[in-house]
Amino acid sequence: MIKHHPSDETLFRYANGSLEPGPRIIVAVHAGGCATCASRISEFEAVGGSLMHDIEPDDMEPSALDHVMAKIEIDEAARDRLAVRPRLPRADVGIRLPQVLDDCGIGPWRWIGPGVRWSRVTLPGDDNANVMLLKVTAGRKLPEHTHTGYEYTHVLKGSFSDARGRYGPGDLDEADDDVQHQPIVDKDGECICIAALEGQMKLRGFFGRLIQPLIG
């Protein structure tokens, strides 16, 4: 039972294409398993289409068609380059990842603390997106932290809790820079999440500051 979803603002940004690539892939993972959010995205897309339909047409510059055709040629060339791009390396992370991640690169698990490992997720065409997989053993606390911007975390396996509630498989936690929390994995098994940041994670405490350079 999915209890935690992206905000309507985030779903609207996803629908209109203004959500950054990292958070966008997290929302895509969530919507792929959440009929409620998939339906909400379709509603926003329909509203956007209706608004465009109602816009009064305006006169175009004489050279507008040439500009559009030149842009199409550039886009087609970019697609051709992407089509021949070598497949990104993918390490075995121990679980079947959602299909929407099939074209992403998956790095090996790396230690960042007792019972905590992370893996870099590389998006095709955007090497700078801050996306990662996190694997945390049962009962383990993550370092207390806040964020500069939004943090989007989708639970793939297991569950964790913080002061705001419990998050299980399929849940998406959307935390802004007003949230300072310390997630704790439930004692019945490890937790694997995929997360993206629109800013940076700011870890608290001595150990947090020690491992901060490892995750950026």
DSSP string covering 127-183: EEEEEEEEEE-TTPBPPPEEEES-EEEEEEES-EEETTEEE-TT-EEEE-TT--B--
Look up residue 24 and give its amino acid. R
Distances (CA, A) of 83 to 20, 77, 89: 22, 10, 16
Q: What percent of the chain has pLDDT over 90?
A: 50
Residues 33, 98: contact at Cβ < 8 Å? yes
Task: Count CA atoms within 13 Å of residue 12 on its CB side.
Answer: 5
Q: Identify which has the larger pLDDT, 134 or 200.
A: 134
Rounded Cα gap, residues 44 and 42, in angstroms:
5
- pLDDT value of residue 127: 81
Q: What angle do CA 14, 16, 21 make, to 5 degrees?
A: 45
In 3-state terms the chain splits into helix, strand, coil percentages (rounded to 5) of 35, 30, 35
- pLDDT value of residue 212: 46
Average pLDDT on 106-120 reads 90
The CATH code of domain 1-216 reads: 2.60.120.10
